[in-house]
Structure 1
Amino acid sequence: MTGWAHFALSNTAATLASVGTAIEVARNAFIYRQAERADEVFYVEAGLVKIDGASPEGKFAVVALLGGGSFFGESCLAGHTMRKTNASALLDSRVISIRKRTMVRLLRTDPHVSRYFTAHMIRRLARAEEDLMDLRVNSVERRLARALLVLASMDENGQAQSVLAVINQQTLAEIVGSTRPRISEMMSKFRRRGYISASGPLKIHSSLVSVLLRERT
């Protein structure tokens, strides 16, 4: 993280804490559910939040996994009055709830919050485009390898609790856009090839990158 980014993060977190409401969220607890009223923006102080949703046919997809320093629930700022997704804690988490009108005021008057929020949303948009391209053009094997490497990087970036320890195969299937049996098959293949730990807690080895490099050639 650059000096400016660290400064902006610290100032943003302090400002949001002063105007919002801190909420301790236990692992697997919902912060909000699909179709509930949307009139708050949330900021993750610590932990890991899963954003997912279901189609009318009941098919689930994980939209994002967000660690400390992330915003979510921001669609209310665009005029959406109902939640389009669910938000739940994958780890014990601490989030700050900011009323919509308060967040709008901060974005207009506080340059640190405005710049940090804008930079965060640009990163989220870029990641969403990468995920969409990944889903459209890459195999399940490559999508799973990419997802595991991203999750491993979240652990390496200072998470107090292990992200990989709480990710099960059903969640991986929803992230990748596949089925649990297919993910189980791919995970077994990765274990045989030494890309991930053969037993015990899930660990990702650097050799997993070869899956991404191989399919590019």
Structure 2
Amino acid sequence: MKNLGQTAFDPETYLATAGLGRKIVRLMEGQVFFSQGSRCDSIFYLQMGRAKLTVVSSAGKEATITVFTGGDFIGDACIAAVAGPHLATATAVTACIALEVEREEMIRVLHEQSAFSDLFIAALLIRSMRTQADLIDQLFNSSEKRLARVLLLMAEFGKPGEVVDEKTLIPPITQQALAEMVGTTRSRVSLFMNRFRKLGYIEYKERIYVHKALLNVILHDQISGANFQNASLLDKGRDESEAARHRAKSLRAIQHP
């Protein structure tokens, strides 16, 4: 009977519908799934939309950790042995639809349904790989390349097993929101967006189309054009100069409190 029950269980149906211990929630742009410091008592499965995970330091500085797209789990820390506070804030970048699953229900289905456990573990592994890529992106890439990566994530290019069109319309998003996600200024984002458009990597007026070429040229470092190379190097130099000024300012504050 147990095997028959497991065979009948469909993870996709489970994650698409409400039921005991789970409900469908809808968030508008800017609304939060959970806040930094709040209790981890549920996990979200993002069915539609885009979201971001941010953390705020004790000094009030905010940084974007990662971006979520459809099919991602948000708040997986809730299934830890001891449910503690959230270490970051999850916010809807666009209008989102998600399944909210209570902690006890999530733990139950993980224990009882191997098909669901396999799906969840695979999602966690993909998330771990993406987190490593995010860290490398922040440590070594210029803000221009970080913007390119955010656009690619918003367009969902590069997902395993998916066939993508030559260009994809991403959800509505402002340049200010992109700047916050990348960790730069809105004026720099405007500069890079104009450059991407001139090179044929994106199209935009009111909405943004991301071309598949941006994946090949930016993500895989297959950069063509001396002007583009020089511009990227110049931007990297600016980023490094800004970091150096910040370190010098911090050192002065320590030496002369």
Return the TM-score normalized by structure 1: 0.80
Are 1:191 and 2:197 matched, yes or no? yes
What are structure 1's unaligned runs of at least 5 residues? Answer: 1-6
Count of residues paired in the alignment:
204
Are 1:178 and 2:181 matched, yes or no? no
2:139 to 132, 136, 155: 136
Match of 2:235 in 1: none
Matches within 5 A, 1:146-157: 146-153=149-156
Match of 1:3 in 2: none
Matches within 5 A, 1:66-81: 66-78=68-80, 79-81=82-84
Distance 1:191 1:89 in 2: 26
Distance 1:137 1:112 in 2: 38
Higher RCO (C-alpha 8 Å, min separation 6): 1
Matches within 5 A, 1:53-64: 53-64=55-66
Distance 1:163 1:97 in 2: 27
1:95 to 94, 98, 117: 98
Match of 1:4 in 2: none
Amino acid across the alignment from 1:30? V
Q: Secondary structure at the match of 1:17?
A: coil
Amino acid across the alignment from 1:210? V
C-alpha deviation, 1:177, in angstroms:
2.9
Q: Considering only CA atoms, is the larger Rg found in Structure 1 or Structure 2? A: 2
Contact 2:94–2:173 at 8 Å: present in 1 too?
no
Instruction: Deviation per CA, 1:25-45: give whole Å up to 9, x if none.
Output: 233222222211221111122
Contact 1:11–1:113 at 8 Å: present in 2 too?
no
Matched-pair identity in %? 31
Match of 2:211 in 1: 205
Q: Single out whichever of 93-102 and 118-127 deviates more from structure 2.
A: 93-102
Q: Secondary structure at the match of 2:203?
A: coil
Match of 2:39 in 1: 37
Q: Structure 1 pair 143/50, CA: closer, same or farther in 2 (3 Å)?
A: closer
CA RMSD of aligned residues (A): 2.8
Match of 1:18 in 2: 19
Q: Secondary structure at the match of 1:128?
A: helix
Q: Structure 1 pair 183/91, CA: closer, same or farther in 2 (3 Å)?
A: closer
What are structure 2's unaligned runs of at least 5 residues? Answer: 1-8, 224-228, 230-257
Contact 1:34–1:85 at 8 Å: present in 2 too?
yes
Return the TM-score normalized by structure 2: 0.69
